[in-house]
Amino acid sequence: MYRNNGLFIEYARTGQFAVVLLLTVVGFFLQPMFVNVQTHLWTYAVLVAGFGLHILINVKFDFIANQKRILFASYVVDVILLSLLIHGGNFGQSLYLFLFLITILCSGLVFGTYGAYALALLCSIAFSLVTLRQEGLQALQLFLTMALHNIAFFSVAGLTGFFADEFFQVEGELKNAGVRLRSKDELIKSILDHAPSGVVLYDDKGQVLLSNPWFAVNLDIEKEIRHLGDVFAPASVPRDFYNEKSNQFEFNLRHRENSEPLVIRVNKSQFYDEVEDKILHLGLFEDLTELKKLEYNLRQNEKMAAVGGLAAGIAHEIRNPLAGISGSVELLSRETKNEEDQKLMKIILREIDRLNNLISEFLDFAKPDKPPTQVVSLKPLVEFALQNAMSGKNIRPDIQVKSQLQDEQIIGYDDKLKQAFLNIVINAFQAMQTTERADFVVELKRDQNQVYVSFRDSGCGMSEETKKRMFEPFHTTKPKGTGLGLAVTHKILTNHKAQIHVDSSPGVGTKIELVFPAAPSN
């Protein structure tokens, strides 16, 4: 308390001596012309000592404020100086009684009850000694004077000490409450800063009262809610956000150019704030993009497993009749001499061979693979896929290929990965056959313990329905496609524990990103 209010109390103590000085000077000028200056020298000497003491206290205020014994000693010196002023006798005792009471009051505000009573006792002794030395006072008058003054001293001490102690207690409680509030504020701020979700608190007008950095990191809308009081109205958030009936909804957000859209889920709630005296709204934003990808991959794997099991049984059942048909047709072709019949039989045999190849691919797709164990470098595999795809038939020659490849390693089978990369690149090149521009970008990089391989084309893109079924066997958009290329690719990548992320829009192009676990550094 003294550190906060000490200067004010110190001014009050210094003011006592300023009042005596002022009254002394005024009294000097109001007296007759011929005045003996010697009668005021005692008063001036005491006042000089008082002012010198308090100048020293002001100069060394920070040190003395923390040294309670030295500080109390200065109050004792004040009592002695006031007693000497009474002894000088220039003014009546009523003035000095008031100054003694001011000193006791200041002591109580600084030291509490015990300090106030201690100084009141000291003032009582000093005032009584000075009063006993005065002449002309009768016994009854002396007794009443000393009794009344002592009652005043101890009454002021008691009242001041009581209120000071209460104030000290309240101040301590407020300080503790302030510390707890600051601790809770720091805790809340830390939680909000590191929360995996976006939090925004706003009123009915959209004025933001609280938000966390999640929006700046994930949605790039820090300009719109950078400061408290800004209006929360990002264009990327649909208007349903302000519809009170929609307390939970999801929306897709493409917050950066050439980036895959994010899936954001919003939960809203409202409550009445007594401090703001209005209804406030709380919005929680969650990024579900990775969760949706995992759900999609899980559904895809389950679908592939079911189709693979069914395909294996059907393929075995079909292959045997095909072998019989093929043998019979070959025998017939040897016996017949009709050219037209020979031509038809060749078509039948060619189609039977195509079906056999298709069944062989299907059986390879359904056959379980062993987990890979060898370390392979991805850069030469990606380069192999690019070179073979560029030299393929019916590929437009003006495709602009840009590659940024780091030499990263994973655990895998190089032949299987060559096939998977080649299937992806060929599909991308074929998707750009009729587009105005043919730009293809492939990147290979590492981030911590994961290796990223991304293929991005400027082709015709895929609809949402096609994207959902692109890895299903026999699903194809090509006139002569079997629909097994990407299905086999998906199986190879899954066996290599790769995550597959696909982003495609009609007329924009397709980006396929593969995320592999990196090979151990040793």
In a domain, 186, yes or no: no
Last residue of a domain, one of 349, 366, 383: 366
CA contacts within 13 A on the Cβ side of 408: 21
Lowest mean pLDDT among 31-40, 155-164, 334-343, 373-382: 31-40
Residue 36: its pLDDT value, please? 55
Q: Does residue 305 share a domain with residue 444? A: no
The domain tally of the chain equals 4
Per-residue pLDDT at 179 exceeds 70: yes
Q: Residue 498's domain is classified under what CATH number?
A: 3.30.565.10
The per-residue pLDDT for range 132-148, each reduced to its tens digit, is: 666 555 666 666 767 77
Q: Do 305 and 275 fall within a single domain?
A: no
Long-range contacts of 74-80 (CB under 8 A, 24+ apart): 75/103, 75/106, 75/107, 75/119, 76/119, 76/122, 77/53, 78/13, 78/16, 78/50, 78/53, 78/103, 79/103, 79/119, 79/122, 79/123, 79/126, 80/126
Q: Mark whether 362 and 383 lie in a shared domain.
A: no
Instruction: Tell me whether residue 181 is in a domain.
Output: no
Per the CB < 8 A criterion, the answer to whether 515 and 498 are in contact is yes
Question: Between 252 and 5, whose confidence is greater?
Answer: 252
273-277, 439-443, 470-474, 510-514: lowest mean pLDDT where?
Answer: 470-474
Instruction: Please indicate, yes or no, whether residues 359 and 231 belong to a single structural domain of this protein.
Output: no
Q: Give the pLDDT score at 456.
A: 92
Tokens of 458: 């400027």
Q: Which pLDDT score, from 0 to 100, does residue 3 have?
A: 45
pLDDT at 141: 62
Shared-domain flag, residues 155 and 223: no
**Lowest mean pLDDT: which of 5-9, 193-197, 277-281?**
5-9
Q: Which of 412, 414, 440, 410 is nearest to 425 (CA)?
A: 440
For 406, the domain range is: 375-517
Question: Looking at the domain assignment, is residue 395 inside a domain?
Answer: yes
Which tens digits make up the pLDDT trace of 94-113?
666 777 778 878 777 777 78
323-342 average pLDDT score? 77
Confidence of residue 444 (pLDDT cuts 50, 70, 90): very high
What is the arithmetic mean of pLDDT over 478-491? Answer: 72
Q: Domain boundary residue among 257, 287, 317?
A: 287
3-state secondary structure 133-199: CCCCCCHHHHHHHHHHHHHHHHHHHHHHHHHHHHHHHHHHHHHHHHHHHHHHHHHHHHHHHHCCCEE
Q: Average of pLDDT values for 23-41?
A: 61
Query: Residue 453: pLDDT above 90?
Result: yes
Whether residue 168 sits in one domain with residue 242: no
| Mean pLDDT (the chain, rounded) | 76
Output the pLDDT for position 229: 46
pLDDT of 364 higher than 70? no
Helices (H) and strands (E) in the chain, counts: 13, 12
Residue 185 inside a domain? The answer is no
Counting residues of the chain whose pLDDT is more than 90, the rounded percentage is: 5
- Among residues 287, 303, 335, the one where a domain terminates is 287
> From CA 281, how far away is CA 207, in angstroms rounded?
10
Helix (H) or strand (E) holding 514: strand 509-517
Residues 274 and 413 in one domain: no
Q: Does one domain contain both 417 and 324?
A: no
What's 314's domain CATH number? 1.10.287
Q: How high is the pLDDT of residue 516?
A: 93
Q: With respect to residue 311, please indicate whether it lies within any of the assigned structural domains.
A: yes
* pLDDT for position 515: 92
Q: In this model, does residue 223 exceed pLDDT 60? A: no
Q: Would you say residue 220 lies in a domain? A: yes
% of the chain exceeding 70 in pLDDT = 73
Helices (H), 60-138: 61-65, 68-88, 93-132
Which span out of 27-36, 73-82, 247-256 was modeled with the highest average pLDDT?
A: 73-82
Q: Same structural domain for residues 232 and 119?
A: no
In a domain, 235, yes or no: yes
Decide if 187 is inside a domain: no
Q: CA 203 to CA 191: how far, in whole Å?
A: 22
Lowest model confidence (mean pLDDT) among 246-250, 402-406, 489-493 = 246-250
115 or 500: whose pLDDT is higher?
500
Lowest average pLDDT, out of 59-63, 111-115, 217-221, 232-236, goes to 232-236
Residue 103 sits in the same domain as residue 218? no
Q: Do 159 and 18 fall within a single domain?
A: yes
Please determine, for residue 357, whether its predicted confidence score (pLDDT) is greater than 60: yes
> In this structure, are 160 and 26 located in the same domain?
yes
Contact 276, 331 (CB under 8 A): no
Between 61-65, 124-128, 237-241, 248-252, the lowest mean confidence (pLDDT) is in: 237-241
